[in-house]
Chain A
């Protein structure tokens, strides 16, 4: 009899963690669909960035209200996980509150968990109000309709339920301790759940045990469910914020990547010894010329794709975007969401076709992101600056513009004129290069 709950617990744990691990493998496979780029420089600076930005939440507090509330939920999440460790050990060994032998330290721990759990509850309720009652503008953009909106709320409901279960479990436990019930020796301090005692007072021990056990089980099953929800949700940022800030851009924001494929072509053009009509030597593999720029997720780098999975759709980028602020279609957040959605679609396509991607006649450009969005960007880097987890939507926009211009010649007419001017007379306007110094004598 005593083994049954332990067995059930072990099964739940294996299924919960196993399914999650399976999805994490899928996630990594999908990210690796991106173009290979090497990011292995400046390790110490990267660790520092990760520590400051992800662990230390340094960019979150740029917006103090959301920032501080987020820190409460974040610290609560991290610290309360110590309790989860205890629950797991208890569940597998059949013990009750195995860490309680730590005595006073245990009291402090449980007390802290409770205060944090209460803080999380309050913060999450405010978050819900901001999304649903106050209706902050950045949560109402068109890309937030439907699933993204539900996703945001589901996460909040999850957290409310988990925290309530945690406090209920503790409150019932405390009442059992006060009743001197067998197996519930005095352990822990309960600064929050003690206020629940009036509800439990007068209930029989057996009822209390049912409540305590039910809350315990639902709490851990809830956590395992939430863990598995992550893969399907924007909430993946709680894990991916760490690698994403580690791999974040270290060079000045104004430094856009050099397109090596183009450099090769340019060098060939500038080299007087190259024979442009030379046929490849007999037997040599004819290299397929690289596609310039990106029209689909596989053309983007794995780093771009990691960015897309990391995005938690907070919308700080979009609210800082000058194009979006002035009513243009561009929303940097939508660029990231579209990239992820398309990547998921490609991933499912691969799953359905035994590991091979079958052309589905769709791509990121056109089916998800329109030319109009791409051309509205001023490349001002406000979105990059705003992102609390080092996502770079601008990088994707620029790669897609490269595809539009170099593969499709699909730039707006005025830009084509500008580029023709640069080609012909070395300035974006139709002035003669020989007149460059005329200002001196004007």
Chain B
């Protein structure tokens, strides 16, 4: 299975004197987190299927600096940013796609002021464009008629006003999209943003991911769809906390589509 994955690097493209159509920014979670790696692979399968000429930076990729900046370490953030920008500008990167809304937001919004200007897309936007260009087709397959609720990642939704691309993809699966009481611009955070992912929460009455999971459960979903590796972790933990892991799956949109295609 895995030997079928074609994952060329920017260095390989450059050696061949070619430019890829798009750089796939994998991100730290997508590279190292066991759950998120599955999302990465699912997305790569879709890119392979649609014959997208993409490349990754591989070992030349480094953290965008998002958690450092949100923790207040502007210095570390800018060091990371400037280093990444140097690498990407050397490769003359024009277009970037990433499955992590935090990387998406940082590269799209915060790199330009430090000299990195790229067209940046979230993978749900990119997949949608592949569909509308006819390069990829989706059939509902196993998800036809399933109740799916979508959890808006803050850094995709409120932060960048991307609400429809992931929802359009779910609809394409012929699934029944059900909305939580707070969704889109009022979507509740999963609790991981602002570098909370890497620390214990402050004292309170409840963890944020439990609150959000309860909101999701109110919709009686079969699947909770996510578009962010951190949200995915938080919601998965929430579902386990509620002992619902046998009934409800937390899946990234890319995984849903790849599974529907039996990839």
Contacts and interface: CB of A to CB of B under 8 A. Distances in A.
Nearest to B208: A322
A335 to B, nearest CB: 14
Contact of A406 (B75, B198, B205): B75
Nearest to A329: B202
Given A258-B110, A415-B199, A378 B63 contact: no
Contacts of B67: 418-419, 422, 428
Given A253-B158, A405-B73, A328 B79 contact: no
B75 A414 contact: no
A404 B193 contact: no
Contact of A378 (B108, B185, B194): B194
A411 interface: yes
Contact of A327 (B56, B79, B206): B206
A422 B70 CA distance: 13
A326 B206 contact: yes
Nearest to B67: A428
B21 interface: no
A427 B32 contact: yes
Contacts of B189: 322, 378, 380, 382
Contact of B203 (A267, A328, A422, A433): A328
Contacts of A328: 201-204
Given A254-B155, A262-B75, A266-B79, A380 B194 contact: yes
A142 to B, nearest CB: 14
Interface in A415-435: 415, 417-419, 422-423, 426-429, 431, 433-435
Contacts of A431: 31-32
Contacts of B82: 266-267, 270
Interface stretch (B2-10, B138-146, B167-175, B248-256): B2-10
Interface string B136-177: 000000000000000000110011110000000000000000
Q: Is the interface of A mostly helix, strand, loop or mixed?
A: helix
Interface in A393-411: 398, 400-406, 411
A326 B109 contact: no
A44 interface: no
A426 B58 CA distance: 12
B2 A440 contact: yes
Contacts, number: 221
Contact of A429 (B32, B72, B188, B192): B32
Contact of B114 (A258, A329, A435): A258
Contacts of A251: 109
Contacts of B53: none
Contacts of A382: 154, 158, 186, 188-189
A434 B9 CA distance: 13
B75 A266 contact: yes
A36 interface: no
B198 A418 contact: yes
A265 interface: yes
B78 A263 contact: yes
A216 to B, nearest CB: 47
A292 B74 contact: yes
B159 to A, nearest CB: 3
B204 A323 contact: yes
Nearest to B211: A326
A439 B31 contact: yes
B188 A262 contact: no
A81 interface: no
Given A405-B73, A414-B200, A427-B31, A327 B205 contact: yes
Interface string B26-65: 1010111100010011000000000000001011011101
B237 interface: no
A256 B159 CA distance: 10
B114 A403 contact: no
Contacts of A433: 59, 62
Given A252-B161, A326-B207, A418 B195 contact: yes
Interface string A236-273: 00000000000000011111101100110111011000
A327 B79 CA distance: 35
A436 B58 contact: yes
Contacts of B212: 322
Contacts of B199: 375, 412, 414-415, 418
Contacts of B114: 258, 263
A402 B63 CA distance: 19
B61 A402 contact: no
A326 B205 contact: yes
A273 to B, nearest CB: 16
Nearest to B57: A436
A367 B126 CA distance: 48
Contacts of B196: 378
17 contacts: A252-B159, A252-B161, A254-B160, A258-B114, A326-B206, A328-B203, A329-B203, A375-B199, A378-B191, A385-B185, A422-B65, A423-B76, A428-B63, A428-B197, A429-B33, A435-B31, A437-B31
Given A400-B72, A414-B199, A439-B26, 5 more contacts: A253-B159, A326-B204, A429-B32, A437-B31, A441-B2
Interface of A: 251-256, 258-259, 262-263, 265-267, 269-270, 292-293, 320, 322-323, 325-330, 372, 375-382, 384-386, 398, 400-406, 411-412, 414-415, 417-419, 422-423, 426-429, 431, 433-442
Q: Which 3 A-B pairs have the closest CB atoms?
A: A254-B159, A327-B205, A401-B72
Interface of B: 2, 5, 7, 9, 26, 28, 30-33, 37, 40-41, 56, 58-59, 61-63, 65, 67-76, 78-80, 82, 105, 108-110, 113-114, 154-155, 158-161, 185-186, 188-189, 191-208, 210-212
